[in-house]
Amino acid sequence: MTGSICVLAEQWRGHMSEVTYETLALGREVADQLGIPLTAILTGSNARELARTLGAADSVLYVDHPLLAEPVPQPCAQALAQVMADRRPRALLVPLTNVSLGVSTLLSIRLGVAAVNFCKDLTVVDGQLRALCVMYGGKIEVTVEAGGEPAILGIWPGARPADKGRASRPASTIEQITVALEEPRVRLKKYIDPEAGDVDLSRQDVLVAVGRGIQSRDNLGLVEELAKTLGGAVAGSRPVIDQGWLPLSRQVGKSGLTVRPKLYIALGISGAPEHVEGMKDSGLIVAVNSDPRAPIFNIAHYGIVADVVETLPSLTAAIGAKRSVSHHA
């Protein structure tokens, strides 16, 4: 493993996260460019079977300990520090999600090396790793050379398609290792799941998502009418959820759900990276926003620069009329 590229395989509640395969795809590219092996590191407790799904890596290290059963950053960073000190890889790629956020920074402190976070891409230039990072909510991109070893790189979700990091074959080499961990200061007590009975956004072909641009909870009726006309469901960005306008089960984005509907209509959503992360792979994206410079227009296939509340009635009427003609044709 000495001199290899390593990827932290993120698993949560007994399942491997999609971002693991995204990060493996990126790690595979970098390792191949440098001509060195790719190693996946999986932490957990009684989770060895999950390591078999990491066949895109040349080898897998499975770190088993009861304190690694739940995604708490402190014991994970402590375990990784022991592995890194022993195996001395060239770089470690850590997914930046709600599950693994904080691991890269804590690990860099333990190892006394710099961490480069929010990396959306990695390239090899003259034998050196170069990271393209996002800053200030995605408004600025900077290129950083990852100096020193091991390089700790926090990878932004969506860096590569997850399918490129999956392998048809199971991992051929899995090495299980043990570590000595201190009792963490933070312990996970329980998971709070959304209330049962609400709509499953991940199964919807059409989603009409709202942001602060709808101005008031009173305007949700207009949004629901559009969703009904399209045969879809209403979703929201985090600010709308935080204000209690929609339940948590309707939140799309980094701290909510990842969705891939055939049609995603973004109403009054600015397009911050945290939201885009959860819907960027939608088949068709239509955005309505009064700000022509809103980042959402950078990923939208079609855009309308207008006040959302003023536009909704005419948009719903036009779609309703079109569908009526189609049904009678």
Mean pLDDT by 10 residues, the chain (329 residues): 87 90 96 95 95 94 94 94 94 90 92 91 92 79 86 90 91 92 87 71 93 92 94 94 90 86 95 87 94 92 95 92 66
Per-residue confidence (pLDDT) for residue 209, from 0 to 100: 96
> Do 55 and 112 fall into the same domain?
yes
For residue 228, the domain's CATH number is 3.40.50.1220
Query: pTM for the complete prediction?
Result: 0.73
> Do 118 and 257 fall into the same domain?
no
Q: Is residue 183 part of a domain?
A: no
Per-residue confidence (pLDDT) for residue 214, from 0 to 100: 92
Report how many helices (DSSP H) and strands (DSSP E) the chain contains, helices first: 7, 16
d(CA 274, CA 156): 10
Residue 57's domain comprises 5-178
Closest CA to 213 of 83, 312, 82: 312
Q: Is the peptide bond before 170 cis (omega within 30 degrees of 0)?
A: no
Q: Which residue type does 126 have?
A: D
Domain's final residue, options 143, 178, 213: 178
> Do 266 and 144 fall into the same domain?
no
> Do 132 and 229 fall into the same domain?
no
> Do 25 and 155 fall into the same domain?
yes
Contacts for 38 with CB less than 8 Å, ≥ 6 apart: 4, 5, 6, 7, 24, 27, 28, 31, 32, 56, 57, 58
Q: Is residue 225 part of a domain?
A: yes
> Do 170 and 205 fall into the same domain?
no
Three-state secondary-structure class, residue 252: strand
> Do 166 and 224 fall into the same domain?
no
Per-residue confidence (pLDDT) for residue 184, from 0 to 100: 86
Q: Is residue 79 part of a domain?
A: yes
Q: Domain tally for the chain? A: 2
Per-residue confidence (pLDDT) for residue 168, from 0 to 100: 87
Q: What does the block give as tokens for 80?
A: 């990784």
d(CA 190, CA 70): 10
Rounded to the nearest 10°, the torsion over CA 104, 107, 109, 113 is -80
Q: Is residue 227 part of a domain?
A: yes
Inter-residue contact 214 to 267 (CB < 8 Å)? yes
> Do 313 and 226 fall into the same domain?
yes
Q: What does the block give as tokens for 259?
A: 């969705």
> Do 9 and 143 fall into the same domain?
yes
> Do 122 and 160 fall into the same domain?
yes
Residues linked to residue 124 through DSSP beta bridges, in sequence order? 129
